[in-house]
Amino acid sequence: MQSDFFTLVCWGVMAAAAIAMMMRRPVHAVLVFVVSLVGLAVIYLQLRAEFVAFAQILISVGAVAILVVFTLLLTRNGGAEAELKRTAGSAIVGLAMAGLVMGCIGICVLASSAVETSGAVTPATVRQIGEALMTQYILPLEVLGLLLTAALMGAVILAMDPARRHNERKP
């Protein structure tokens, strides 16, 4: 399965992520970020995790990216940020820190003796995933449902207009 295509996709994902984070306008950054997420889904497909790949496209690309775009529309000063004037020094420090972390991870990975046994791997079918979720991971699944409900209610309350919230309390 190790092919030139896989390597190409890997480079594409990294390049798209780097370009997205360097874009001046956040709208363009989100659009390039979506390319990176789709590339990650292709990597998951290559690694035989099909369900995760489609879930990634549905959730990350379909929901989260669109949510970010809507937030950009709501907070409309989304033009070029005047950010590099005052913070050039701290930006260099930040880049150096990130480069240090990246280098440490790379050295650790290259120096490790992680054995690879790509023998008889059975791809995870949707049926198997569903059975695992309903038997072994039932408690985490329930907790996750609770968390999502709480998060959505919290998001609505946070984003609600404070004046209107006040009026609705005292009609």
Please list every residue from 35 through 74 that binds another protein, using CB under 8 A: 36-37, 40, 43-44, 47-49, 51-52, 55-56, 59-60, 63-64, 67-68, 70-72, 74
Interface with another protein includes 134 (CB under 8 A)? no
Interface with another protein includes 142 (CB under 8 A)? no
Binding-site member from 154, 165, 167, 168 for another protein (CB under 8 A): 154
Interface with another protein includes 148 (CB under 8 A)? yes
Interface with another protein includes 111 (CB under 8 A)? no
Query: Can you tell me the distance from the alpha carbon of 109 to that of 50, in angstroms, rounded to the nearest whole number?
Result: 26
Count of residues of this chain found to bind another protein when the rule CB under 8 A is applied: 85
Query: Can you tell me the distance from the alpha carbon of 142 to that of 37, in angstroms, rounded to the nearest whole number?
Result: 27
DSSP letters for 110-137: HHS------SSPPP--HHHHHHHHHHTT
Distances (CA, A) of 128 to 41, 54, 120, 135: 20, 16, 16, 11
